[in-house]
Structure 1
Amino acid sequence: MAASNNSTAHPWLNRLKHEWLLLLFTALTVVLACIDPQPWARYKGWLQLPTLCGLLGLMISIQGIRDSGLVQRMARMLVARMHSLRGVGLLLVSMTAVLSMVLTNDVSLFLMVPLTVAIGGMSNLPILRMAVLEALAVNAGSTLSPIGNPQNLLIWQHAQMPFLQFVGSLLPAAAVMFVMVAVLTWFWLPKDRVELQADKLDGHPVSVSLALLSLVSLAMMVMMMEHGHAPLGALLLVIPFALFSWRTLTYIDWLLMATFATIFLGLGHFAALPVVEHALDKIDFTQPLALYLSGIIGSQLISNVPATVLLLDRAQNSVALAVAVNVGGFGVVIGSLANLIALRLAKQPHGMRLFHEVSVPFLLVCAVAVYLVMRLAA
């Protein structure tokens, strides 16, 4: 009885036992703070508060859309018109990639993964496989657009390159990535027809007021993020949801927010270590292969956005750097933080293991293919 009471009294502690990524980066952050203490201002910079606020705003909006029943209604409409699992998979992957070009990779996942989970809940669509494929798809799709992901935005602004020139330069790499994702989707998903589970198709009414509030909130949050006002946008979202749909706020994945905060702090501090700076000084970034491998390996170690910041002033070829860090988004889960978002939204057991079983080999093949295509296109 005592053990049972203890379990119910500390649900957060029970959840933390499974949050190995959060625990790992919390430990890294603490260790680095002890061996290399820095002024508080540097920690504030590494924390990337605008990014965290933007993530919170998106999570609130999408949770509201989920709670309204709109996602379930859209899922029913979509799955009723599709006949094969491969057809559904290719449609979802294509939609995810296209949305990532205009709404950024994170926003695309926040829209598409809940839709995928809803479809999987009423049919035989494998949810976890689709979540992994959609994580790969946003990386491929967002590669093409200067505003598709944070690393592209940084490089585009730094290089002061025309929008269409950037798109044209990244087109060969993005095309290779997307074709590989599409081929993987076709062969990895079963050949089976879509089988509807009739008992899960009914009985989910749509709350029009909550759906409208959530859709308007999502549009406003994206606009606020684009104009650099993410903290204000998140605050403006919390107030109406607290007044009219407070339950939505209780369903937010606050441990995911904490995980991102510790990742930003730990990796930001690691990238700023003098030993890392000295190691980079020894690399000849004028060599295309050296820059390409540095971008990919750096992304695997510290994620592709910090790797971009680290290499931005050292790389003379901005397009080559963009290709490298976008390819580096594949592989390990922290290669792109969009990978972690996809897995957390899907909420499927053994997600991290399956992701790495697919994404690491995908990176190895994709890295070679993209490099050869970019050399031919040069």
Structure 2
Amino acid sequence: MPIINEARSARLSSPRRLLALVAKEPVLSLLLIALAFLQAFHPRPWTSLPGLVDWQTVLTLAGLLILTKALELSGTLTWFAHRVVHHVHSERSLAYWLVTLAAVLSTILTNDVALFVVVPLVLSLNELTPLPLKRLVIFIALAVNAGSILTPFGNPQNLFLWQISGVSFGGFVRALAPLCALMMAMLYAMTTVSFKTRPLDLSQDTVAQPVDRAFAGVAAVLFAAFVLLADSHHAGIGLIGVAGGFLIWRRDAVLKIDWLLLLIFVFMFIVLRSVAALPWVRETIEHIGLDTPLRAYAAGMVLSQGISNVPAAIMLAEFTKDWRALAFGVSVGGFGIAIGSLANLIAVRLAKRRGMWSQFHGFSIPFWIVGGMIGGWVLSHF
């Protein structure tokens, strides 16, 4: 009897674990609820749903998650971050370094990964000397959103828009470079007036940061190879090689990635493209009209404030082929209200400090307003 009861409780606990896991991910929960409503009131054949997913984007994201996890596990990123801060001697110079570090890392490793490197670094430095921690984390969040504009790998919406645009890696960078440069210039100006020149002593940061050089070297080489394959629209081949190689050699680089993020992306495509296909949604957006670059830009910038910039990019791409205007809009849309970019929510969550939301919006909303005007001007003149 005890054995039977244990087996029965194990069967019952599996659905409970699944529900608990879903409950911890509000984005996934909302997507599943939305899909249930769509299938109840506007059903589509279940077998047609996988066809709504942009698998090239999902495969590319999976490969990047594995490679960035490998770099993280090698210790290279933490070692580099600690080496950087040894060159700062004031609160303002630390802010400059952290903004630069976060922005640069976000262009290569995506904005989320950059946060997981830089925010813990700030938390550890705060234990050595008092820092304006909340303000630094806010500016790091702004930095990863601004820096990630530059490359297709900077953030998930760029990755998606790059895949559907058909342009080369270099072509994408050239198209987004003016906006990135001006957003970063504005951020540096804000940093100058927001941080003091108060001296800092970080000389106690002497803990050795071990680096697995072989692991890091292989990850770097594979990263370059994967970029070339993704640029030629062969991300699937690259993913097979990267995942297969690490499963044989260092399987933790594959097993420890954010699998839920990939699942969320799959459901985002299914739900948002199903919503975009609804007659009243199509009629509404067609009535508004996204037939000019500025309208597509404004739509991405505003819609991101309600549903975040990744879903906004996926949904609006059904109504406009002007990928550059849309990229501009959802990039600027990452500022403003915190939900505009999931990176904002991650940064605040990592900081684990009360009272950050009002201070965050005190910086991000003015940045969104001014950035919106700058982005519109850049789109019209470059």
- Normalised by the length of structure 1, the TM-score is 0.74
**5 Å matches for 1:1-378?**
16-40=22-46, 42-97=48-103, 103=108, 107-109=109-111, 112-117=114-119, 119-124=121-126, 132-141=138-147, 143=149, 149-150=158-159, 153=162, 157=166, 163=171, 167=175, 171=178, 173-188=179-194, 192-196=198-202, 198=204, 201-285=206-290, 290-301=295-306, 303-313=311-321, 321-332=326-337, 335=340, 343=347, 347-349=350-352, 354=357, 357=361, 358-371=363-376, 373-374=377-378, 377=381
Does the Cα contact within 8 Å between 2:69 and 2:256 map onto a contact in 1? yes
CA distance in 2, matches of 1:351, 1:215: 38
Quick one: structure 1 residues 12 and 92, their matched pair in 2 at CA, closer, same or farther if it must change by over 3 Å? farther
Letter in 2 for 1:109: N
Aligned length: 358
Q: Runs of 5+ in structure 1 lacking a partner?
A: none
Q: Within 1, Cα distance between the matches of 2:229 and 2:380?
A: 40
Give, in whole Å, the separation in 2 of the partners of 1:376 and 1:233.
Answer: 37
Using CA pairs below 8 Å that are at least 6 residues apart, which structure has the higher relative contact order? 1
**How far has the Cα of 1:334 moved from its partner?**
6.0
* Residues 123 and 93 of structure 1, relative CA distance in 2, 3 Å threshold: same
Aligned in 2, Cα 1:26/1:84: closer, same or farther, shift over 3 Å? farther
Separation of aligned partners in 2, 1:250 and 1:127: 32
**Matches of 1:76 and 1:165 in 2, distance apart?**
29
Provide the C-alpha distance between the structure 2 equivalents of 1:61 and 1:214, rounded to a whole number of angstroms: 6
Give the deviation of 1:55 after TM superposition.
Answer: 1.9
Judge which range, 48-57 or 135-144, deviates more: 135-144
% identical equivalent positions: 28
Kindly indicate whether the alpha-carbon contact (under 8 Å) linking 2:106 and 2:113 is maintained by their aligned counterparts in 1. no
Give me the whole-angstrom Cα distance separating, in 1, the residues matched to 2:336 and 2:165. Answer: 24
* Contact 2:294–2:325 (8 Å) recurs in 1: no
The 1:240/1:51 distance shift into structure 2, 3 A limit, reads same
Flag the 1:232–1:319 CA change in 2: closer, same or farther, 3 A. closer
Kept in 2, the 8 Å contact 1:331–1:356? The answer is no
Letter aligned with residue 327 of structure 1: V
Residues 325, 115 of structure 1: alpha-carbon distance in 2 compared, 3 angstrom cutoff: closer
Q: Distance in 2 between matches of 1:209 and 1:120?
A: 27
Aligned-partner residue type, residue 314 of structure 2: P
Q: CA deviation at 1:12?
A: 6.8
The alpha-carbon distance between structure 1 residues 215 and 143, as it changes in their structure 2 partners (threshold 3 A), is closer
Which is further off, 298-307 or 80-89?
298-307
Letter in 1 for 2:247: A
Cα separation, partners in 2 of 1:65 and 1:146, compared to 1, 3 Å: closer
Closer, same or farther: CA 191–96 of 1 in aligned 2, 3 Å: same
State the Cα distance separating 1:209 from its structure 2 match.
Answer: 2.1
Instruction: State the distance in 2 between where 1:109 and 1:140 align.
Output: 9
Q: Deviations over 1:177-201 (max 9, x none)?
A: 2233223334455655444384x64
1-structure distance, mates of 2:31, 2:354: 19
- Aligned pair in 2 of structure 1 residues 284, 70: CA closer, same or farther (>3 Å)? closer
Asked if structure 2 preserves the Cα contact closer than 8 Å seen for 1:113 and 1:131, the reply is no
Aligned partners of 1:336 and 1:281: how far apart in 2?
Answer: 26
Amino acid at match of 1:79: V
| Distance of 1:326 and 1:245 partners within structure 2 | 35
- Tell me if structure 2 keeps the 8 A contact 1:128–1:348: yes
Structure 1 residues 90 and 324, CA, compared in 2 at 3 Å: closer, same or farther?
Answer: same
RMSD over equivalenced CA pairs, Å = 4.3
Q: Which amino acid aligns with 1:296?
A: M
Shift of 1:110: 6.0
